[in-house]
Structure formats: C-alpha cells, structure tokens
C-alpha cells in the first residue's frame, strides 16, 4: 500500500470521518453522526433499502453548482461572449441533459444517439455542435436540419454539406476541427503512460481527430468558397490527459500559433473558438492519484484563457466568442455508485470484499486505469482495521480498489464509489449477462428514478434464436 493511499484513506481518527478530507467545493455529501453517507441530506442506507443496488445516484444540487462555477469562471476570464456546451458523452441521462438545459447549456454531440438524447432532454440548436471524425451523411443532414454547428473533420464532409445546404436551401454553420500537438510539453512528460502503454506524445499523435495546419490551410479557402457554408471558426479538444496546467498552457500557445499561421496563409480570422472539454477536477480518479488535485476549475480556465488572450492579442486577432465543451467536470462528482457487500473472503493473507457492482459499471478502471475513492458508506466514522481488495461479481479479475484500508465490514454493508457521475453509466456494459443498474436523482428530500434498473430479460431482449436452432 503506498504512503499516499494510507494518508488519504486513514486521515481520520475515532469520531472523525473518512469523507471530509476528500470533499470538494461543489460536493453535496456529508456524514451522519452514526457514520452514514448522505447526499443532499438523504441517507444512502435508506436509498439502498428503497431502490436496491447497484445504484447510481446523482445530486441535482452538485450538477447545477458545477455548471454555475464554470459559467462564472468563463465570464470572469473571457472579455467576449462565452458559451458552455455540455458534452453529453460524460453522462447521457435525459434528466441530466434537462437540468443543464435549464441552466442555459448548449451541447456537444457525437452521432445520432447523442443528438437524440440532447434534444429529448432539451437544447437550443444554435449552441449545439456535432463532432466526429466520420459523420455519416445522415447525421450531417440531421444536424443541418436542426440548425447545429458542424465541426468539419475531413475533406469529404465539405461536399456532403454543400449538397445538403443546396437541398435544404439554407446556410450551414461550420467550424474546422484543428489538430494541435503541444510537442514541447509532450516531450517533457516521460512518466505518462496510458492504459494501452502509450506515451503522451504517442497518444496525441495517434488520435484521429482534427486537421493539421497544412491541411486546414488547404481546406479553409475551399470551405469559404462553398456556397451554403458559413465558417464560424475553429474547434479543438485536447482532453484531460494530465492534471498539470503547464501542459494546457503549452497547448493554448500552440493553438494560437496555429490560428496565426492560418491567418497569414489564408487571411481567415475566426469569429468563434471552441476549445472542447477536459477541465481539471479536484478529485481526479483518472490521474490514478487519490490525493486531491490542488488545481481548481477556475485555475484551469484562467490559465488557458489568459494564454489565448495574450496569443491572440499578440497576433492582432480580435477575441472571438469562446465555447467550451465540459463533460467530466460538470457531472463527475455529482454521481456516487452504491453497492452491497456480499461475501468477504480471507485467504492467503489477503482480504477480498465482494460487492454487487463491478467494472461493468465503472469501465474507466479498465480503459483509463481510474483509481476511485471507495468508501464504506455506512461505516464512515469507523477507523480502518485491514487492507482489502474490493471486487465485483464478474469472471474477470478487475478490482474496483486494491489493498484499501477498510473498517470491519459484514455482508449487507454498503460501499460507495465517488465520482461515478462521469463516463460510468455511458460506458457501462452487461458483461457476464449482468443487467445495468437503476439511477436516481436526488434533489433535497425528493428522489426520482431517472433510469430504471434493467432485468435479465432486458439484457437478452434483442437476441434471436433462428428457428433452425430450436429443438
Ligand atoms: C470533442 C469533445 N468535447 C468534449 C469532451 C468532453 O471532455 P471532458 O469530459 O474531459 O470534459 C470530449 C471527450 O472526449 C470530446 O471528445
């Protein structure tokens, strides 16, 4: 067990609780005097009794607080107009989308499913974008009909969009997705290795999205000459690769450099700049570090925007409207995954706590090596007595948490995984034929089911046995 995990997990004495040291400003969690986790004042043991486990629960207060925090930081940091587009891939629950719509969010969509979810949950077309490196003509047409901004990510999209604009007899707003590689910094991150074993430089190089300055310089005149296309500006999404803000600064410098080169080569001056998502989170499972990240979302926004402002000022380019596409920051800490403890096995000097949730519900453990806080949710004031590994009921050896200090637990106790609001439900699978959990939304005393629990019948509902195989 590392020093870091011991200090995080055992940083409480008798009477204190395990949650307080890792709370962040917009969390809506607290601990009762008898050691039970509460979300917006709702005891999780009561929710478990009513809705069963595994259970995703989301706090509406946290969702709204996160949105407002980003909106305030953007308004403080950028002197021109700004917009927040919710990246629905992080959590596509329709109720979540509806909350962000009420808050004033636009949206970022990939493909038909996200377009559908975005508009079913409420959205205003002029601040919704369609992204993707292989948008089908059908998706492009749907986006054009709805009046979205389409981020062009390949040459053939220009021809498709020209034909669609002609057919619909309307102008289509587009941005060009750029490919920006902060090489200067990638070379200085030798320790970064992703779950596929790639260095940072290799990972960025391998990403299929966006167009190099060379290609962008060729396509900008073509887009501008295409009747029916209105080129608003540029899109680029770096994503959350490192918690280190130097990296984001290097990227913003490279981005303004690219904008400057393109202006020199084509004369094009963008009216809109969309810089994607990837905002810093204080509890940051994807950094694989359970210590709080000292960088706040305000710091992230301030550092990136001030680099953009000084770069654009230096180039004499007026500040464009700035759009951002946060996903994980808005929803991450609003979600908790609850599970029930089953068999506790002690063998070979190891302890395994079997829970009824699994990596099926937290795929980022597999795909990004995410290292979540896993808490004994009804024993938060009980000091740890042993290191245990929390595992799910699947046939793959994919621990939810390894060698974590845990209090004495029994069958029926409750475990909580924090930060399960992002990329958990949307990436969940049914491996081993396990139905997906129910999701509830907590709003003070109110608790609403916003996604029903699947049954085994649901898992197999689309399967068909051809008659010739039936006996
Ligand atoms: C184009 C685009 N925008 C926004 C996001 C959201 O990123 P995050 O959830 O890190 O904020 C993503 C994530 O993959 C993305 O691909």
Q: What confidence tens digit (pLDDT) does each residue in 332-344 have?
A: 999 999 999 999 9
Mean pLDDT, rounded, of the chain? 93
**How close is the Cα of 88 to the center of ligand 1, in Å?**
9
Average pLDDT over residues 170-191: 81
* pLDDT value at residue 14: 62
Ligand 1 binding pocket includes 320 (Cβ within 6 Å): no
**How close is the Cα of 329 to the center of ligand 1, in Å?**
10
- Six token digits for residue 319: 């500040």
- Six token digits for residue 308: 């953009």
pLDDT at 138 over 50: yes
**How close is the Cα of 263 to the center of ligand 1, in Å?**
26
* CA separation for the pair 11, 350 (Å, rounded): 23
Pairing of strands 350-355, 386-391: parallel
Predicted TM-score (pTM) of the model is 0.94
Average pLDDT over residues 289-315: 95
Ligand 1 binding pocket includes 326 (Cβ within 6 Å): yes
* pLDDT value at residue 161: 97
Residues, the chain: 471
pLDDT at 372 over 70: yes
**How close is the Cα of 25 to the center of ligand 1, in Å?**
22
Mutation pick for ligand 1 pocket among 114, 236, 274, 325 (CB with most ligand atoms within 8 Å): 325
- Six token digits for residue 434: 């396990």
What is the atom index within ligand 1 of the atom nearest the CA of 423? 9
Ligand 1 binding pocket includes 153 (Cβ within 6 Å): no
Residue with tokens 């509902």: 461
**How close is the Cα of 237 to the center of ligand 1, in Å?**
7
What is the atom index within ligand 1 of the atom nearest the CA of 278? 10
* CA separation for the pair 379, 241 (Å, rounded): 34
- Six token digits for residue 347: 């063998």
* CA separation for the pair 97, 109 (Å, rounded): 12
What's the CATH architecture for 124-324? Answer: Alpha-Beta Barrel (3.20)
Q: Whose CA is nearest to atom 10 of ligand 1?
A: 278
- Six token digits for residue 446: 């109110």
Average pLDDT over residues 216-244: 93
* pLDDT value at residue 405: 95
Q: What SS3 state is found at 86? A: strand
Closest CA to 4 of 419, 371, 290, 380: 290
**How close is the Cα of 159 to the center of ligand 1, in Å?**
27
Q: Are 400 and 419 in contact (CB under 8 A)?
A: no
- The C-alpha angle 212, 217, 219, rounded to 5 degrees, equals 95
CB-based contacts of 229, cutoff 8 Å, min separation 6? 158, 161, 162, 165, 171, 172, 174, 223
Q: Whose CA is nearest to atom 16 of ligand 1?
A: 237
Ligand 1 binding pocket includes 240 (Cβ within 6 Å): yes
Q: Are 323 and 107 in contact (CB under 8 A)?
A: no
- Say if residue 290 is exposed, middle or buried (CB neighbours under 10 Å; 0-12, 13-18, 19+): buried
Q: In the structure, what pLDDT confidence band is assigned to residue 186 with cuts at 50, 70 and 90?
A: low
Ligand 1 binding pocket includes 300 (Cβ within 6 Å): no
Ligand 1 binding pocket includes 328 (Cβ within 6 Å): yes
The domain spans of the chain are: 3-59+333-459, 124-324
Ligand 1 binding pocket includes 131 (Cβ within 6 Å): yes
The 8-class DSSP code of residue 291 comes to S
Mutation pick for ligand 1 pocket among 88, 100, 108 (CB with most ligand atoms within 8 Å): 108
3-59+333-459 has which CATH code?
Answer: 2.40.37.10
- The C-alpha angle 275, 280, 286, rounded to 5 degrees, equals 110
Residue 376: which H helix or E strand, with range?
strand 374-376
Ligand 1 binding pocket includes 235 (Cβ within 6 Å): no
* pLDDT value at residue 7: 42
Distances 96 to 63, 324, 338, 416 between C-alpha atoms, Å: 8, 18, 19, 21
* pLDDT value at residue 290: 86
Q: In the structure, what pLDDT confidence band is assigned to residue 247 with cuts at 50, 70 and 90?
A: confident
* pLDDT value at residue 184: 67
* pLDDT value at residue 10: 46
What is the atom index within ligand 1 of the atom nearest the CA of 422? 9
Q: Are 450 and 95 in contact (CB under 8 A)?
A: yes
In the chain, the percentage of residues whose pLDDT exceeds 70 is 94
* pLDDT value at residue 129: 98
* CA separation for the pair 334, 39 (Å, rounded): 9
* pLDDT value at residue 13: 59
* CA separation for the pair 431, 89 (Å, rounded): 20
**How close is the Cα of 188 to the center of ligand 1, in Å?**
24
Ligand 1 binding pocket includes 325 (Cβ within 6 Å): yes
Q: What confidence tens digit (pLDDT) does each residue in 373-430 have?
A: 999 999 999 999 999 999 999 999 889 999 999 999 999 999 999 999 999 999 999 9
**How close is the Cα of 325 to the center of ligand 1, in Å?**
6
pLDDT at 306 over 70: yes
Q: What confidence tens digit (pLDDT) does each residue in 378-391 have?
A: 999 999 999 999 99
* pLDDT value at residue 189: 63
Q: What confidence tens digit (pLDDT) does each residue in 5-63 have?
A: 434 444 455 668 999 999 999 999 999 999 999 999 999 999 999 999 999 999 999 99
* CA separation for the pair 431, 358 (Å, rounded): 10
**How close is the Cα of 46 to the center of ligand 1, in Å?**
34
Q: Whose CA is nearest to atom 12 of ligand 1?
A: 277
* CA separation for the pair 84, 70 (Å, rounded): 8
* pLDDT value at residue 191: 65
Ligand 1 binding pocket includes 339 (Cβ within 6 Å): no
Mutation pick for ligand 1 pocket among 277, 286, 301, 422 (CB with most ligand atoms within 8 Å): 277
Asked if domains 3-59+333-459 and 124-324 share a fold, the reply is no
Distances 142 to 23, 39, 91 between C-alpha atoms, Å: 42, 39, 22
**How close is the Cα of 222 to the center of ligand 1, in Å?**
28
Q: Are 70 and 84 in contact (CB under 8 A)?
A: yes
Q: In the structure, what pLDDT confidence band is assigned to residue 78 with cuts at 50, 70 and 90?
A: very high
**How close is the Cα of 238 to the center of ligand 1, in Å?**
8
* CA separation for the pair 389, 20 (Å, rounded): 22
């Amino acid at each position: 067990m590392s020093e870091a995990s011991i200090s995080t997990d055992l940083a409480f004495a008798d009477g204190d609780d395990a949650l307080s040291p890792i709370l962040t400003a917009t969390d809506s969690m607290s601990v009762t005097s008898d050691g039970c986790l509460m979300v917006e004042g709702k005891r999780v043991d009561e929710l478990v009794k009513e809705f069963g486990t595994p259970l995703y629960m989301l706090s509406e207060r946290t969702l709204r607080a996160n949105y407002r925090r980003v909106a305030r930081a953007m308004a403080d940091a950028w002197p021109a107009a700004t917009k927040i587009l919710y990246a629905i891939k992080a959590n596509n629950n329709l109720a979540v989308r509806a909350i962000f719509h009420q808050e004033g969010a636009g949206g970022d969509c990939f493909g038909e499913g996200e377009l559908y979810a975005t508009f079913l949950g409420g959205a205003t077309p002029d601040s919704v974008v369609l992204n993707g490196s292989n948008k089908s003509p059908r998706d492009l047409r749907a986006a054009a009909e709805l009046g979205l901004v389409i981020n062009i990510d390949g040459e053939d999209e220009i021809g498709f969009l020209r034909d669609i604009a002609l057919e619909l007899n309307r102008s289509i707003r587009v941005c060009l997705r750029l490919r920006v590689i902060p090489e200067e910094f990638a070379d200085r991150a030798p320790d970064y290795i992703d779950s596929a074993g790639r260095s940072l430089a290799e990972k960025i190089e391998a990403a299929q999205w966006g167009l190099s300055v060379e290609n962008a310089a060729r396509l900008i005149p073509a887009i501008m000459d295409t009747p029916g296309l209105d080129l608003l500006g540029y899109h680029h999404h770096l994503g959350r690769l490192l918690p280190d803000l130097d990296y984001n600064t290097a990227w913003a410098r490279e981005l303004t450099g690219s904008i400057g080169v393109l202006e020199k080569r084509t004369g094009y001056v963008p009216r809109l700049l969309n810089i994607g998502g990837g905002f810093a989170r204080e509890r940051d499972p994807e950094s694989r570090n359970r210590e709080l990240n000292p960088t706040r979302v305000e710091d992230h926004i301030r550092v990136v925007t001030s680099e953009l402002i000084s770069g654009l000022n230096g180039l004499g380019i007026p500040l464009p409207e700035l759009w951002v596409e946060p996903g994980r920051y808005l929803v991450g800490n609003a979600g908790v995954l609850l599970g029930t403890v089953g068999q506790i096995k002690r063998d070979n000097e190891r302890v395994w706590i079997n829970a009824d949730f699994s990596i099926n519900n937290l795929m980022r453990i597999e795909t990004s090596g995410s290292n979540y806080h896993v808490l004994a949710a009804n024993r938060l004031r009980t000091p740890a007595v042993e290191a245990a590994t929390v595992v799910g009921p699947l046939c793959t050896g994919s621990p939810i948490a390894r060698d974590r200090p845990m209090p004495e637990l029994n069958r029926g106790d409750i475990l909580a995984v924090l930060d399960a609001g992002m990329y958990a439900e949307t990436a969940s699978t049914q491996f081993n034929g396990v139905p997906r959990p129910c999701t509830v939304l907590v709003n003070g005393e109110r608790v609403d089911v916003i996604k029903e629990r699947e049954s085994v019948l649901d898992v197999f509902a689309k399967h068909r046995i051809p008659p010739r195989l039936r006996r």
